[in-house]
Amino acid sequence: MSTKTDTTYDIVVFGATSFVGQILTGYLLKSYGIGKDVRWAIAGRSESKLGTLKQGLGPLASELPVIVADAADESALKTMCDQTRVVISTVGPYALYGEPLVKICAETGTDYCDLTGEVQWIRKMVDTYEEKAKASGARIVHCCGFDSIPSDMGVWFLQEKAAETFGAPCQDVRMRVKVAKGEFSGGTVASMMNIAKEAAADPKLRKELANPFSICPPEHRSETRQPSLKGAEFDNDFGVWLAPFVMGAINTRIVHRSNALQNARYGKEFTYDEAMMTGRGMKGRLAAYGITGALGGFFTASAFKPTRWVVEKFVPKPGEGPSPEAQKNGFYDLRFVGKTTDGKIIKTKVTGDRDPGYGSTGKMLGEAGMSLAFDVPAEKQGGFWTPSSLLDGKLYERLTSKAGLTFEVLETS
């Protein structure tokens, strides 16, 4: 449970009128109702838009409380945080709009989770506010959407099964995206473009973005070179061609931070990387090279003003997204292979029953907020955590029973 008591609400959804915020709000309403076991409210900067959201949710939402607060108004954010034990934020790009809320949560002891994938912003938040969060008891958990819950909890699950089967962790783990049907959210695209823009102007940031341990505590490092796929490559473990996975840059860092926060539970020389499967033979090879080129072109074009506007014309904007039917028809299938130091191998998979960027992310974020509100012991220290290091098995239970995720062991040898 949260360290705060005597609050009006258990959870406040901040940014409820955003595209993912609307999905999340609808999910919480359907799953937990109003005025039952969970006391929750919606918040945002526009009272009229919040009212429109309630109307769109139907009669069940008529009693849903509303809080008006702007992301830049610290006084309003404090008033909001004083009323709740947990805030779930969907207001991104977080590097542009997210800091004031993290600051207020860290100062007021309010637990917090979001769906950012902006590693440079996470590093800044940890450096700036971790001591305040530890002092107040605020547990802050970034990356509670598709980046990075399936990866972070996927490795957690694999390591749990490795310990049961082999009596030891897997020192090397690889994640491969077998298939993913869905779209990137407009907020995710905006965040990636902002990262490219910032990195182009800051050599120090480019160096940090190349560091797989960039959000780990300074003392946590590895002597083993971390794998990092830069281009098309053949994968002998799965017998397919690979291309870089755009979410790998944040997911690998969250997984390494999880290892660090659990006292190197996966091993001090633990290695991890991610990639996309593109298929077998010449078709798979050509697809791998095509994806590699497209990603390189996107980040290069996003980095510079003359070409950035061209990219913006062809990608979804924040607040835009697929239809409910398209969300329902989306899915993903991630494969993991882990190897122990003595050569034992375990293969697992994680699947989601909605498109990754919207439908599944909304459900995962909702259950992360619920777990933060109801599953974490009050004595658990404040600070900046990851999903698996703080929520572990309780989040796993919620993801599998409510959020449409499956975790499965495929084989051991």
Q: Are residues 336 and 255 in the same domain?
A: yes
Q: What is the mean pLDDT of the segment spanning 86-94?
A: 94
Q: Are residues 240 and 316 in the same domain?
A: yes
| Bond preceding residue 148 cis, omega within 30 of 0 | yes
**Domain presence at residue 76:** yes
Q: What is the pLDDT of residue 182?
A: 79
Q: What is the CATH number of the domain that holds 56?
A: 3.40.50.720
**CA separation for the pair 293, 314 (Å, rounded):** 17
Q: What is the pLDDT of residue 287?
A: 86
Nearest partner of 261 among 363, 345, 140, judged by Cα: 140
Q: What is the mean pLDDT of the segment spanning 259-269?
A: 96
Q: Are residues 406 and 396 in the same domain?
A: no
Q: Are residues 200 and 311 in the same domain?
A: yes
Q: What is the mean pLDDT of the segment spanning 260-277?
A: 96
Q: What is the mean pLDDT of the segment spanning 122-151?
A: 97
**Domain presence at residue 169:** yes
pTM for the predicted model, two decimal places: 0.93
**Domain presence at residue 3:** no
**Domain presence at residue 2:** no
pLDDT tens profile 24-48: 999 999 999 998 999 999 999 999 9
Q: Are residues 220 and 290 in the same domain?
A: yes
pLDDT tens profile 152-198: 999 999 999 999 999 999 999 999 999 998 766 666 666 667 666 77
Question: What is the count of structural domains for the chain?
Answer: 2
Q: What is the pLDDT of residue 77?
A: 98
In this predicted structure, the answer to whether residue 313 has a pLDDT above a threshold of 90 is no
Q: Are residues 198 and 238 in the same domain?
A: yes
Percentage of the chain beyond pLDDT 70 is: 89
The boundaries of the domain holding residue 156 are: 149-356+402-412
Q: Are residues 170 and 300 in the same domain?
A: yes
Are the C-beta atoms of residues 368 and 390 closer than 8 Å to each other? no
Q: Are residues 321 and 331 in the same domain?
A: yes
Q: Are residues 365 and 347 in the same domain?
A: no
Q: Are residues 222 and 115 in the same domain?
A: no
Number of H helices, E strands in the chain: 15, 14
Query: Is residue 4 very low, low, confident or very high in pLDDT (cuts 50, 70, 90)?
Result: confident
Q: Are residues 382 and 255 in the same domain?
A: no
pLDDT tens profile 186-200: 666 666 676 667 766
pLDDT tens profile 390-404: 999 999 999 999 999
Q: Are residues 394 and 336 in the same domain?
A: no
Q: 46 in the Ramachandran plot: left (φ > 0), alpha (ψ -120 to 50) or beta? A: beta
Percentage of the chain beyond pLDDT 90 is: 71
- SS3 of 140-180: the string is EECCCECCEHHHHHHHHHHHHHHHHHHCCCCCEEEEEEEEE
